[in-house]
A and B are shown apart, each in its own frame.
Chain A
Amino acid sequence: DAKTTQPPSMDCAEGRAANLPCNHSTISGNEYVYWYRQIHSQGPQYIIHGLKNNETNEMASLIITEDRKSSTLILPHATLRDTAVYYCIVRVALMRTASKLTFGTGTRLQVTL
């Protein structure tokens, strides 16, 4: 399974952009990068995913390097409600229509006033 490496914790001031890095140097060519976040004692929440190109949705932007060995999740204007553990995951196909998400320990983002 492709392994991801994330810093254990980061701080961000409210209203500023939060940039969360992730290394996935062993990723294969057809494996997607997914980002989820988990607020304490809740189920993980899907944020965004991508393969090669940069992606943007209403929650965040995902920047993937050209060699696909790393990516950055950007929360453009962080709020206190964005305080959570953020997981960068490489999706592993199990069967034709099922996949495994291998969650590491993630990055604990603390948004402060």
Chain B
Amino acid sequence: DGGITQSPKYLFRKEGQNVTLSCEQNLNHDAMYWYRQDPGQGLRLIYYSQIVNDFQKGDIAEGYSVSREKKESFPLTVTSAQKNPTAFYLCASSLAGQGGQETQYFGPGTRLLVL
């Protein structure tokens, strides 16, 4: 079954704790993305990666970190520096070389709540 998986579906974080959200894709896509969605709002880009071992900051990267050691995986760490981490986190991926039509496909999301 191909697609993008995110785990866990729900994640609870204590004050001062770092937590890592998983994103895996078996679509052989080159680019991967992390977005954040707050209630009643649209999505905002946190980080993105075009290829393995390379990633770039998006619009709201402060308090987050990522790695891209494998093509299939793009985990996001929410650090203690992120003061307002409660949100719905969405991972997406896209295939390169589409002449400007790199359609992004999204995973089911992880809802992060602060205890």
Contacts and interface: CB of A to CB of B under 8 A. Distances in A.
A joins B in a complex: yes
Interface residues of B, number: 36
B30 A97 contact: yes
Interface in A66-92: 87, 91
A41 B88 contact: yes
B48 A98 contact: yes
Nearest to A44: B106
A87 B19 CA distance: 30
A51 to B, nearest CB: 8
A94 B33 CA distance: 12
A103 B42 contact: yes
Contacts of B59: 100
B104 interface: yes
A98 B42 CA distance: 19
Given A42-B108, A43-B108, A94-B48, A100 B58 contact: yes
18 contacts: A30-B100, A32-B101, A36-B106, A49-B103, A91-B100, A93-B100, A94-B56, A96-B50, A98-B31, A98-B50, A98-B96, A101-B43, A101-B45, A101-B92, A101-B104, A102-B42, A102-B43, A105-B42
